[in-house]
Amino acid sequence: MYECPGVQQAAVLGVPVAGTDRVELAAVLVLADDDLPAVREALAERLEPHQIPTRFQLVDALPRGVMGKVLKHQLRTQLTDS
């Protein structure tokens, strides 16, 4: 994901699909130039179709704990609330 153009920070996580027992792959990104189509195109060139996230969320910064790790539980909550 970091090899894609404009990606400064990224996190990929599974997010439950409401009303089902499915989980979709979601990517949360901080982009330098907000060119999401270029990111999708770069992923399509590098990954198999089932590996490409079905959802993308752009944020200003990823939430991090005191040790600098991405707080994926906060991201998952944000994605399920939206």
Task: Tell me, yes or no, whether 38 lies in a domain.
Answer: yes
Top pLDDT among 44 and 26 is at 44
Domain count of the fold of the chain: 1
Percent of the chain clearing pLDDT 90 (strictly above): 44
**Alpha helices per DSSP H over the chain:** 36-46, 72-81
Where does residue 21 fall: left (phi above 0), alpha (psi -120 to 50 degrees), or beta otherwise?
Answer: alpha
Task: Tell me, yes or no, whether 2 lies in a domain.
Answer: no
Residue 42, domain extent: 7-81
CATH code for the domain of 16:
3.30.300.30
Contact of 9 with 30, CB cutoff 8 Å: yes
Q: pLDDT at position 34, please?
A: 80
pLDDT band at 2 (very low <50, low <70, confident <90, very high): confident
Whether the pLDDT of residue 51 is over 70: the answer is yes
Task: Tell me, yes or no, whether 29 lies in a domain.
Answer: yes
pLDDT band at 39 (very low <50, low <70, confident <90, very high): very high
